[in-house]
Amino acid sequence: MHFTAEHSFPAEPARVGALMVDPVFEASVALPDLSPPEVVEHSDAGAEHGLRLRYEYIGELDPLAKRLLAGRSLTLVQAVRLDPATGRGTLTLEAEADPGRLHGSARITIDAEDGDSSVRRLDGDFVVKVPLVGGAVERRLLPGVLSRFDVEAAALTARLRADDTVR
């Protein structure tokens, strides 16, 4: 299922991008229905910076999703690869136990807007590969995934504003 998300920030793209791959910041963001993340990998060498986080889903699951998991926990791995200088990168999300069945990916673009502000766009696809019911599960799960991007964007905005206050 295709998705797009757009968020505006009160800072230039490089500052937004740097926070998106900052393990301390991202680990501090409380996302609904997910455990605090475990930082799996962080890299800030070279032009492309990367951050992989592991989350356990701790919220109430849709009955159909529960049936598909058959009593197993749902652990998700999210990876962001981004060049903060250009504001271009990728985001991937996959179920750790069975990434072929539940996964998503998106292109990230962070562009300057008027003044010292920017807009981040995510353009991607979310896939649940389960015969007959995959599309229904995608439609049920994707709004939650998108709402977590909104929560993360709100935390980014709050952090950028707080940093500006300290300056």
pLDDT at 72 (0 to 100): 72
Please say if the pLDDT value at position 126 is more than 90.
yes
- Per the listing, tokens 């986080």 go with 53
Check: CB of residue 137 under 8 Å from CB of residue 67.
Answer: no
Domains and CATH numbers, the chain: 2-166 (3.30.530.20)
Mean pLDDT value across the chain:
90
- Distance between CA atoms of residues 1 and 167, nearest Å: 42
Q: How confident is the model at residue 163 (pLDDT cuts 50, 70, 90)?
A: confident
Please say if the pLDDT value at position 142 is more than 70.
yes
Please say if the pLDDT value at position 130 is more than 80.
no
Check: CB of residue 9 under 8 Å from CB of residue 84.
Answer: no
Structure tokens at 71: 């009593």
Of 4-13, 23-32, 126-135, the poorest mean pLDDT is in: 126-135
> What pLDDT digit, counting tens, does each position of 45-93 carry?
888 999 999 999 888 876 766 666 666 778 899 999 999 889 999 999 9
Q: Enter the pTM of the model.
A: 0.90
Q: Name the nearest CA neighbour of 34 among 67, 6, 58, 16.
A: 58
> What pLDDT digit, counting tens, does each position of 90-100 carry?
999 998 888 88
Please say if the pLDDT value at position 132 is more than 70.
yes
What's 55-101 look like in SS3?
EEECCCCCHHHHHHHCCCCCEEEEEEEEECCCCEEEEEEEECCCCCC
Check: CB of residue 55 under 8 Å from CB of residue 145.
Answer: no
